Every structure is written in C-alpha cells, then in structure tokens.
Amino acid sequence: MADPAMAGQIDREVCNLAHRFVQKLDAHVRRVADELGLTPTQVVALRELSDPITARELANRMACEASNATFVLDRLEQQGLVERRPHPTDRRAKQIVLTPAGERRRADVLERLDAYSPLAALSRTQQTSLRDLLRALVT
C-alpha cells in the first residue's frame, strides 16, 4: 500500500509545479499582449478563434463567464478584428468570425505564442505526453 505521507507530498509538489507553470504561461501571454498592443484576454480569445463559434463556445474555450467573453468580443469588434454574423442553424445566436484583419492579427498572436513558449523546453514527444496527461486529469 502507498505511503499516505509520500502521496500527500507528491500532491503538494504537483500542485506547486502546476501553479508555477501556469504563472509562466500567463507571463508569456502577457508579453505577447504587450508586444501586440492587446490585452491578455484578447490574446487568448484570438488564440481560440480558429473557426466560427458562438460567444458561449468562446467563453468555454477561454474558461471564463459568457459576459466576460462578450466584453472582450466587443473590444475586438471595435478594433475590426471580429464580426458577429447570424448563426446558420440557431436564429437566436450569433457566430463570431474573424475579419481579414483579425486573421492576420491571430496569425501574429500564434506566431509569437509559439516563438518563446514555455513548452519549447520539452521535445514534441514530451509535449504530447504532457497534453495527454493533462487531458486525463481534466476529463
């Protein structure tokens, strides 16, 4: 049987390391946002806008409340980076779509996020393993 004290120590260490890694990711997003004149939440929204989605779907991807995503989308729309279009199957909903300027800005965001990503310290195989482990923990 596993030693409970050792299990607790491992839990604490994993929590500490996960927290420190999230801080590194957050600092990285903030640097990219500063470089591009965006807010960190705008960077995250642009990262997640790979295809037309609703504001609610975007909020889920961003792990925030729908009202927060709407606020961010309002700002991105004012900047000409996204537009709201009628949803093809749900007349009550709108789809969020990148404009051509938004597609260019998203490409800049992705390029800069990839350039100095904290994940770059790992090989592609290690990155895949980490992704799979994290997926197992959150599903």
pLDDT digit string (tens) for 28-84? 999 999 999 999 999 999 999 999 999 999 999 999 998 999 999 999 999 999 999
pTM listed for this prediction:
0.87
* Per-residue pLDDT tens over the stretch 60-71: 999 999 899 999
**How far apart, in whole angstroms, are the C-alpha atoms of residue 6 and residue 96?**
48
In this prediction, residue 5 has a pLDDT band, given cuts at 50, 70 and 90, of confident
Q: How many domains does the chain have?
A: 1
- Helices (DSSP H) in 1-123: which residue ranges? 4-36, 40-48, 55-62, 66-78, 100-115
Q: Which domain holds residue 122?
A: 4-138
Q: Domain containing 116 — which CATH number?
A: 1.10.10.10
Mean pLDDT of 89-116: 94
Cβ contacts of residue 88 below 8 Å, gap of 6+?
A: 95
Q: What is the pLDDT of residue 12?
A: 92
**How far apart, in whole angstroms, are the C-alpha atoms of residue 8 and residue 137?**
17
